Structure 1
Amino acid sequence: MAEAVIELVRRLSSPPPGAEEPTGLQLPLTAEQRTVLRGRRRTLCGRDVLLQLPRDGALQPGDRLTDGGGGVQVAVVAAVEPLLRVQGTSALELLQAAYHLGNRHVALELHERELLLLDDSVLQQMLESRGLMVSHCERPFLPEGGAYGGGHTHNHTHSHAPS
């Protein structure tokens, strides 16, 4: 007999600093999936869940979700995604690349010496034509939230990049 779908309806408040994280289910989501708060998903161990969350901003890795009774806890984790790693010979080259990608509303994860974006052959060609070094990698994608933070809604990905 199949297990019932778990309906996740709210976020739990963050635990106090130093508190142990409860063990439970993990829900791997791509950057884009973390912006969609409704719909069917699957946990790391294969359990089906149904997101029915209030529309109050994108999910972040580490967010904890629960069912109506609070008996089930599910932790959001950033799923591994195919990315492009962009590197230049100067900070100005990366700044110019970020400008051109931002002009195209491309979600970017910004770092001091590299930019990360979802794998896209057209963007890869554009970046390489500008003399940038572009390589492929697979890792969790944590794009910058943008000028409007997580509460602004477009069809763009919004979340926070690591410091």
Structure 2
Amino acid sequence: MLKLIERLGPIAENAASDTLTLPFELRIRGRLKADSDSGQALGLFLDRGPVLRDGEGLKAESGEVVRIRAAIEPVVTARVSAGLPLARLAYHLGNRHVQLALGEDEKGSWVRFPPDHVLEELAALLGAELEHHNATFDPEPGAYNQVGGGHSHGHSHSHGHGDDHDHTHNHEHSQEHSQEHSQEHEHEHHHHHAH
């Protein structure tokens, strides 16, 4: 069995020796046994992290690389006019803490989620047209996962680096801090971590 232990993030198709097609519910699990698309036995042993997305690579202990493919599965695609109605739809659905995929095509923008009566009713109430069909479900990654290239590079970061990251992050949210204040703050912050 090939033991897949490291997330590589998005990779090119020709960078992998094999592919593994999984539905969304299996792409949210870090530990899993499955057969690759060519039939070889795989075991995923990953740290908990963001959902595996279509096109991401996983590296095996032995160095082989397998590329994840999102399976075609039942989904609900909700369409509503662009602008505020779409923002409102995404906001209210997102408030339910479900994973949502967002996209656009020649017919306009859409929000997609796994079939769920509560969400379907909510979307209909917000004026969306719902289409039940089969497609890939590749949800929007969390914004914080994308900072610094996502979690895939997490292993190479030193701790100090991570701390700076969090720190600058807090500052984005509290701009009322003056510049000098943030320097003092930086000082306290590192001091605090030294203990």
Please name the residue that 2:101 is paired with. Answer: 109
Q: Match for 2:19 among 17, 26, 36?
A: 26
- CA-CA distance at 1:12 after TM superposition: 5.1
- CA-CA distance at 1:91 after TM superposition: 2.5
Amino acid at match of 1:148: Y
Secondary structure, counterpart of 1:66 in structure 2: strand
Amino acid at match of 1:7: K
* Cα 1:12–1:98 shift into 2, 3 Å: closer
Q: Match for 1:37 among 12, 30, 34?
A: 30
Q: Match for 1:146 among 126, 142, 145?
A: 142
Q: Match for 2:131 among 132, 135, 141?
A: 135
- CA-CA distance at 1:134 after TM superposition: 0.5
- CA-CA distance at 1:23 after TM superposition: 5.5
- CA-CA distance at 1:133 after TM superposition: 0.5
Give distance in 2, aligned partners of 1:43 and 1:81: 18
Q: Number of aligned residue pairs: give it.
A: 143
Task: Please list the CA deviations of residues 96-146 of structure 1 after superposition, one character each: whole Å capped at 9, or x if unmatched.
Answer: 111110111121111251111111122112222332110112111121122
Whichever of the two has the greater Rg, that structure is 2
Q: Does 1:78 align with 2:70?
A: yes
Secondary structure, counterpart of 2:61 in structure 1: coil
Give distance in 1, aligned partners of 2:13 and 2:67: 13
Q: Match for 2:83 among 76, 91, 116?
A: 91
- CA-CA distance at 1:44 after TM superposition: 2.0
Q: Match for 1:8 among 4, 7, 22?
A: 4
| Structure 1 unmatched runs, 5+ | 152-163
Please name the residue that 1:50 is paired with. Answer: 43
Give distance in 2, aligned partners of 1:97 and 1:64: 32
Give distance in 2, aligned partners of 1:56 and 1:121: 27
Please name the residue that 2:58 is paired with. Answer: 65
CA RMSD, 1 decimal: 2.6
Task: Please list the CA deviations of residues 58-112 of structure 1 after superposition, one character each: whole Å capped at 9, or x if unmatched.
Answer: 4332222233222x33211111121111111342222111111011112111125
Which protein has greater RCO, CA pairs closer than 8 Å, 6+ apart? 1
- The two structures have a TM-score, normalised by structure 2, of 0.61
Give distance in 2, aligned partners of 1:102 and 1:54: 25
| Structure 2 unmatched runs, 5+ | 152-195
Secondary structure, counterpart of 2:24 in structure 1: coil
- The two structures have a TM-score, normalised by structure 1, of 0.72
Give distance in 1, aligned partners of 2:103 and 2:58: 29
Secondary structure, counterpart of 2:139 in structure 1: coil
Please name the residue that 2:92 is paired with. Answer: 100
